């Protein structure tokens, strides 16, 4: 079980700094949400933790070890990533894609054995993609591809999972199904889960803690109740959101109102009042 | 319950183990292996001098260790089989295998269905080297080969080395930059080659024949030079079949699945370039094999590189042996350049495979 720790991390593309001085921790068994507007740096943070881009400055530790000093093969057994809208080669079957999750567990001279096939199959059952196993990826919908990539990360058996908008392509029933699945895995296996989410309501429902990012900086972090309130939403999103307590579990829920953006005509603002 | 906590035995029972079609594809590899042996024997039988199939078999088998067959044939017959036809057939097989696996490797690395072994300047570099070799007033021979293959081989490697260094950005090698640098430098070499050809006078015919490819002068000494490159290169590429599958996703996902992407690119580019350079330096820049054979294999047996690579090796070898057979017999005693035959015979077959699918082709 691993603890993920970012210490004053700065990230840049070329000379263009996009993430500024971010510090947070994710503990084993904890599901933490990264929220914030488009372009605030959520995806960039996930890429840096998985060592796809390098740091501008700062440190990222996994269980006290510097992520950038862990060899890639070892890192892929510790961290699994579900990228945002992943591109998959269309000729491969769903099963072949999920089987690629076993790659970090196999040496150059090893082939997938019965155990790898079995773990792959079980990962597909868990994500309800086993009926798609022999279909070519090019024939599948966005939501099916999303679930296949989540199955691949399960087959990878990492200690920590990073997800970038895992529900972006899914309808509401699959959104809940996938996040339930991730939440369960997190609790049962003490996984360290960091998930970037657009949907503030889903973030509030599923995450133990939320980190609200605004133009590359941490605006506020804490429990959903501490983070999701009208003031923070106005400051970060510039939109007027109405925050209520969820009628069943009392967690904060955001309801949007037409006419609350800067593009609204004066007459729209009072619609429905 | 965690996946890893489940007992393997209980897991195995739940898997419909038949479905990754692996057994089917393994049989295909075995089948093609046997077929390639048959094709070698068949191609050795056919030629301007009629030699019965049984005699050819007995001559071939008598060369194997521990086989003792008393010669009942003329020594000239043996010379025709062993010194003229067999090296030619073997070299055609080696070159076909090398171009096919190099093409499959480039297509995977670049994630581009249009990639072929000549994409980043190997062919144009080899052509320039060869043309310079033809035009030099030198008649150098050493280590079993002349100045033309030596300069063709050097030109191919030199060209790719330049492209590689132009495309490198710090410690990374962006593949799009690599393709564009390769295409641009290839065009530069190509125009120099064109200019040299039109000013080459009486040597023009020989140069053009070389560029279109021919096995007409193949000897064992050439097989001995090409064989080690092809064996080592193919072995290295086969070793990286699974990482190539993962690489086909995209570089970011490949890194997140534990692939050292930059090292993989370097190793595979080096291996594929070496075997391509070795393949073309004696016989010319034969087209079509390197791009079409991997696609034909994909259409029939799927994109999984663990099967695609060995199946491409065998299909490429069989295809080029048969193409060379047509090249030397169709208009005998005139030889047709093999680059003409590969497309004339290969394109209709490939188009048939394309149409047979009756749906969009995935890559």
What Å distances lie between residue A199 and A147, A254, A260, CA to CA?
18, 9, 18
Question: For tokens 């990482």, what's the residue?
Answer: B243
**pLDDT attached to residue B283:** 92
Q: What are phi and psi of B116, to 5 degrees?
A: -140, 175
Question: Which tokens go with A34?
Answer: 């990264």
Is B56:A131 a contact under the CB 8 Å cutoff? no
Which chain B residue has its CA at the smallest distance from A152's CA? B257
Q: Is B256 on the interface with A (CB under 8 A)?
A: yes
Chain segment A152-185, per-residue pLDDT in tens: 999 999 999 999 999 887 889 889 988 999 999 8
Task: Sort A240 into a burial class: Cβ within 10 Å, 0-12 / 13-18 / 19+.
Answer: middle
What Å distances lie between residue A197 and A41, A125, A194, CA to CA?
12, 25, 10
Task: Using an 8 Å CB-CB cutoff, list chain A residues near B354.
Answer: none
Percent of chain A at pLDDT exceeding 70: 95
Chain segment B229-280, per-residue pLDDT in tens: 999 999 999 999 999 999 999 999 999 999 999 999 999 999 999 999 999 9
Q: Is A25 strand, coil or helix?
A: strand
Question: Which tokens go with B212?
Answer: 């279109």
Q: Which of A49, A112, A123 is nearest to B304 (CA)?
A: A112
Per-residue pLDDT of chain B (363 residues; tens, 9 = 90+): 344 444 444 555 556 555 567 778 888 999 999 999 999 989 998 887 888 888 888 888 888 877 777 788 888 888 888 888 999 999 999 999 999 999 999 999 999 888 999 999 999 999 999 999 998 877 666 665 788 889 999 999 999 999 999 999 888 899 999 999 999 999 999 999 999 999 988 888 888 888 888 898 888 989 999 999 999 999 999 999 999 999 999 999 999 999 999 999 999 999 999 999 999 999 999 989 999 999 999 999 999 999 999 999 999 999 999 999 999 998 878 888 898 899 888 888 888 888 887 667 788
**pLDDT attached to residue A267:** 57
Q: What are phi and psi of A213, to 5 degrees?
A: -105, 135
| Most A-contacting residue of B258, B260, B306, B359 (CB-CB within 10 A), to test interface | B258
Q: Is A154 on the interface with B (CB under 8 A)?
A: yes
**pLDDT attached to residue B216:** 84
Q: Is B113 on the interface with A (CB under 8 A)?
A: no
| Most A-contacting residue of B257, B306, B307 (CB-CB within 10 A), to test interface | B257
* Cross-strand bridge partners of residue A25: A5
Give the CA count within 13 Å in the CB-facing half-sphere of B330: 14
User: Which of A52, A104, A108 has its CB closest to that of B252?
Assistant: A52
Task: Using an 8 Å CB-CB cutoff, list chain B residues near A81.
Answer: 253, 256
Region of B288 please: left (phi>0), alpha (psi -120 to 50) or beta: left
Q: What are phi and psi of B118, to 5 degrees?
A: -100, 10
Q: Cβ contacts of residue B233 below 8 Å, gap of 6+?
A: B98, B101, B102, B271, B272, B274, B275, B278
Kindly tell me if the per-residue pLDDT of A207 is higher than 90.
Answer: yes
pLDDT band at A221 (very low <50, low <70, confident <90, very high): very high
Q: Which of B156, B120, B129, B126 is nearest to B269 (CA)?
A: B120
Q: Cβ contacts of residue B48 below 8 Å, gap of 6+?
A: B332, B333
Q: Is A91–B250 a contact, with Cβ atoms under 8 angstroms apart? A: no
DSSP string of B194-256? HHHHHT-GGGHHHHHHHHH---TT--HHHHHHHHHHHHHHHHHHHHTHHHHHHHTT-HHHHHH
**pLDDT attached to residue B64:** 81
Distance CA A111, CA B306 (A): 9
Q: Is A136 strand, coil or helix?
A: strand
Chain segment A246-268, per-residue pLDDT in tens: 988 889 998 877 777 667 666 55
Task: Please give, one letter per residue, the 3-state secondary structure of B141-200.
Answer: EECCEEHHHHHHHHHHHHHHHHHHHHHCECCECCHHHHHHHHHHHHHHHHHHHHHHHHCC
**Closest-CA distance of chain A to residue B102, Å:** 20
Is A221:A227 a contact under the CB 8 Å cutoff? yes
**pLDDT attached to residue B353:** 83
Is B290:B123 a contact under the CB 8 Å cutoff? no
Q: Cβ contacts of residue B102 below 8 Å, gap of 6+?
A: B117, B233, B237, B272, B273, B275, B276, B279, B290
Task: Using an 8 Å CB-CB cutoff, list chain A residues near B14.
Answer: 118, 121-122, 125
**pLDDT attached to residue B309:** 97
Chain segment A101-157, per-residue pLDDT in tens: 999 999 888 888 888 999 999 999 988 898 999 899 999 988 899 999 999 999 999
Distance CA B177, CA B104 (A): 20
Q: Cβ contacts of residue A54 below 8 Å, gap of 6+?
A: A48, A68
> Helices A114-126 and A142-156 sit at what angle, rounded to 10 degrees?
140
Give the CA count within 13 Å in the CB-facing half-sphere of B346: 29
Distance CA A219, CA B41 (A): 75
Q: Is A121–B11 a contact, with Cβ atoms under 8 angstroms apart? A: yes
**pLDDT attached to residue A200:** 93
Q: Cβ contacts of residue A117 below 8 Å, gap of 6+?
A: A99, B12, B15, B17, B20
Which chain A residue has its CA at the smallest distance from B257's CA? A76
């Amino acid at each position: 079980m691993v603890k993920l720790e970012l210490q004053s991390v700065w990230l840049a593309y070329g000379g263009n700094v996009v993430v500024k001085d971010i510090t947070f921790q994710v503990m084993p068994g904890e599901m933490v949400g990264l929220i914030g507007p488009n372009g605030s740096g959520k995806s960039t943070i996930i890429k840096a933790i998985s060592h796809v881009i390098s740091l501008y400055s700062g440190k990222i530790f996994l269980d006290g070890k510097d992520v950038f000093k862990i060899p890639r093969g070892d890192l892929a057994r510790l961290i699994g990533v579900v990228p945002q809208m992943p591109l998959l080669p269309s000729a491969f079957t769903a099963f072949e894609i999920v089987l690629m999750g076993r790659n970090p567990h196999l040496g150059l001279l090893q082939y997938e054995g019965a155990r790898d096939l079995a773990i792959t199959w079980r990962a597909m059952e868990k994500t309800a993609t086993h009926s798609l196993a022999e279909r070519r990826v090019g024939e599948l919908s966005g939501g099916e591809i999303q679930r296949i990539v989540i199955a691949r990360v399960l087959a990878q058996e990492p200690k920590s999972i990073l997800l970038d908008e895992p529900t972006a392509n899914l309808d509401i029933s699959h959104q809940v199904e996938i996040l339930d699945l991730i939440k369960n895995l997190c609790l049962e296996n003490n996984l360290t889960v960091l998930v970037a989410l657009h949907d503030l309501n889903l973030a509030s429902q599923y995450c133990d803690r939320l980190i609200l990012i605004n133009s590359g900086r941490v605006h506020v972090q804490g429990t959903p109740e501490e983070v999701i309130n009208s003031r923070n939403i106005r400051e970060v999103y510039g939109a007027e959101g109405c925050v209520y307590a969820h009628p069943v579990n009392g967690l904060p829920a955001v309801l949007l109102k037409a006419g609350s953006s800067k593009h609204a005509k004066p007459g729209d603002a009072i619609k429905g009042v | 319950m965690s996946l890893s906590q489940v007992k393997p035995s209980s897991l195995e029972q739940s898997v419909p183990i038949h479905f990754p079609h692996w057994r089917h594809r393994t049989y295909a590899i075995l089948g093609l292996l046997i077929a390639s042996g048959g094709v070698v024997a068949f191609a050795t039988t056919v030629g301007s001098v009629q030699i019965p199939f049984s005699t050819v078999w007995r001559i071939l088998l008598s060369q194997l260790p521990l086989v003792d067959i008393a010669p009942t044939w003329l020594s000239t017959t043996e010379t025709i089989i062993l010194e003229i036809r067999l090296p030619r057939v073997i070299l055609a097989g080696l070159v076909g295998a090398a171009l096919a696996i190099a093409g499959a490797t480039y297509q995977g690395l670049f994630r581009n269905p249009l990639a072929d072994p000549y994409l980043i300047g190997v062919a144009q570099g080899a052509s320039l080297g060869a043309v310079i070799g033809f035009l030099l007033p030198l008649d150098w021979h050493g280590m079993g080969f002349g100045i033309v293959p030596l300069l063709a081989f050097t030109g191919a490697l030199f060209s790719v080395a330049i492209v590689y260094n132009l495309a490198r950005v710090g410690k990374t090698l962006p593949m799009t930059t690599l393709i564009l640098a390769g295409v641009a430098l290839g065009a530069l070499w190509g125009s120099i080659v064109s200019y040299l050809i039109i000013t080459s006078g009486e040597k023009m015919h020989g140069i053009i024949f070389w560029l279109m490819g021919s096995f007409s002068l193949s000897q064992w000494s050439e097989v001995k030079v090409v064989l080690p490159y092809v064996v080592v290169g193919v072995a290295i590429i086969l070793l990286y079949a699974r990482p190539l599958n993962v690489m086909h996703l995209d570089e970011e996902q490949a890194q997140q699945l534990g692939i050292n992407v930059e090292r993989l690119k370097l190793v595979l580019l080096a291996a594929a370039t070496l075997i391509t350079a070795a393949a073309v330096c004696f016989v010319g820049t034969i087209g079509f094999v390197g791009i079409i054979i991997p696609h034909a294999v994909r259409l029939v047996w799927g994109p999984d590189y663990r099967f695609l690579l060995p199946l491409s090796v065998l299909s490429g070898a069989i295809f080029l042996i048969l193409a060379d057979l047509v090249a030397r017999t169709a208009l005998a005693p005139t030889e047709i350049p093999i680059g003409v035959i590969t497309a004339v015979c290969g394109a209709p077959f490939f188009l048939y495979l394309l149409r047979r699918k009756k749906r969009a082709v995935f890559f």
